[in-house]
Amino acid sequence: MSSFEVFMTEDNIRLVCVAGFWLECIMATLLMGRQVTIYSDIIPFMWDNFQLADSQFDFTPNFLDLEIRKDISFGFWFALFELLVLDFPVKFFEHRLLKAYGLYDKSMRYWVRNKFEETLLNTMHKTVTSFFLSFFINVYDNQTTGYHTLFRHTILAIIYCITLFVVEFLEHVFTYMDRDSFKPIPEGLLKDRLAAICTRTGYPLDKVYIEVVPPNHPMNAYCVSFFGLYTRIVIISSLIEGFYDEQDSNKRHVRGKRSPGLTISELEGIFAHEVGHWVKRHNEKNDIFASIFCEPILFVLAMWSREQKMLYQAFHFSPSDISSLPYPLLPGLFIGEQIICRVLDKTIYSFWNSVGCAMEREADMFSVPIRYAEKLKTGLVKLKMLVLGYPSTDPVYSLFYDHHPSLVERIRSIEQEQAATPK
């Protein structure tokens, strides 16, 4: 027995996991401290120096023009700063790393174009959100000063959620609508089998796509939808056993190697699971859950931080900016959401993950009455083997980090549903 095998006892493995968890917490704390240091200089600098031209908006009261102009300008320039200075270097390193290991086969030109579109879309998102937030909040604050603070903040949170909901829908649609790698299911046995499931469940077959990726790309399939206005089920090509894209002209991602993924029978079970997400409206429920639970909490805390002079002083705002209430709107919202609310992130994410796991179980249960449960179980087991995943996880760890139940839990739930379902 080697020294490594002697060391890898259950207690030592648990010790390594706990040590790794605390190391992650320490690194996250150090990174957050560094982030606060950068933001404490950038936020007041952009608020004071990056402003729109001194012109009047015809549709706002004169006393609000300056505040709204500064909010829109701050939202635009800070979005560019986050994307180009903070996000772009990390994404570029990730691109080079994935390409070096054969997990990404797109050219640099394609990647730069994709990042440019993403930057433009996110900047528009932040700018539009900044305008609506600034307009509604400033007008509401100046017209309802007699109302109770909690009630006023609740109304503002609802307005904020509606605005964010609409803008994120547009961003969501544009993100998935123009993917060059999305292709319809090719003619053959796979399409016939998936068509049979679509016929039984009512899902449109023309909304099923294959996303062409290198054979060693992470395997996945997912469903996206938005209240009947937009829907799509995407199967990653690496999930399909022996997939070979005959229509790809350059063949750079093939190199004689085919995907080791799932058989057609196993793919039927996985596809039935994804259709279950569509039938149960899980995407829509997630959006509603975020709108009525997560966002109002963060927003109310952010509005509270807007009235805390100490926070603005800590972020080096000039005395002229914080001489009287209310303090600058968008910087206060940003400080509240990105810095103060980080304390509550893990608690909120634990509830979010619990909801996500419940939805995954519900999608698994959907395969039982349509008689695809056995194929789903086989597909889940093989998929876990292909990705070298452990079949079970610690419940506490899973609560904070896993969006899916463990394989053991999913198989047990499916079997219990099968036992309770009449033959």
- Read off the pLDDT of residues 143-182 as tens digits, 9 standing for 90 and up: 555 455 566 666 666 766 676 667 666 666 666 555 566 8
Distance CA 343, CA 111 (A): 34
Joined tokens for residue 395: 């419940």
318, 49 contact by CB (below 8 A): no
Q: Residue 418 to residues 105, 279, 373, 415: CA-CA distances in angstroms?
A: 42, 19, 8, 5
Provide the pLDDT for residue 325: 61
Provide the pLDDT for residue 279: 93
Provide the pLDDT for residue 291: 67
Pairing between β-strand 230-236 and β-strand 208-211 as defined by DSSP bridges? parallel
Q: Give the start-end residues of each E strand in 143-229.
A: 182-184, 208-211, 221-226
407, 392 contact by CB (below 8 A): yes
Joined tokens for residue 344: 């509550």
Distance CA 60, CA 55 (A): 12
51, 69 contact by CB (below 8 A): yes
Provide the pLDDT for residue 59: 43
Distance CA 294, CA 349 (A): 9
Set out the domains of the chain in order of their start, with CATH numbers.
Answer: 7-178+284-340 (no CATH), 182-279 (3.30.2010.10), 356-420 (no CATH)
Output the tens digit of pLDDT for each of the chain's 423 residues: 555 555 556 666 667 766 766 676 666 666 666 666 666 677 777 777 766 544 444 444 444 556 667 777 777 777 777 777 777 777 777 777 777 766 666 667 767 777 777 777 767 766 666 666 666 666 655 555 545 556 666 666 676 667 666 766 666 666 655 556 688 888 889 999 999 999 999 999 998 999 887 777 778 899 988 777 778 899 988 888 877 655 444 444 444 455 578 899 999 999 999 999 999 999 888 877 776 666 666 666 666 766 777 777 777 777 766 666 666 767 777 776 666 666 666 667 777 788 888 999 999 999 999 999 999 999 999 988 887 777 777 777 777 777 888 888 899 999 999 888 876
Return the DSSP state at 403: S
Distance CA 307, CA 309 (A): 6
**Beta-bridge mates of residue 184:** 209
Ramachandran sector of residue 153 (left: φ over 0; alpha: ψ -120 to 50; beta: rest): alpha
Distance CA 303, CA 308 (A): 9
Distance CA 149, CA 109 (A): 51
Distance CA 265, CA 261 (A): 12
How far does CA 387 lie from the centroid of its chain? 22
How far does CA 414 lie from the centroid of its chain? 27
Kind plus residue range of the DSSP H or E element containing 235: strand 230-236
Query: Locate tokens 């991602």: which residue?
Result: 253
Query: Locate tokens 């080079």: which residue?
Result: 96
CA dihedral of residues 284, 288, 294, 299 (deg, nearest 10): 120
Other beta carbons within 10 angstroms of residue 121's beta carbon come to 15
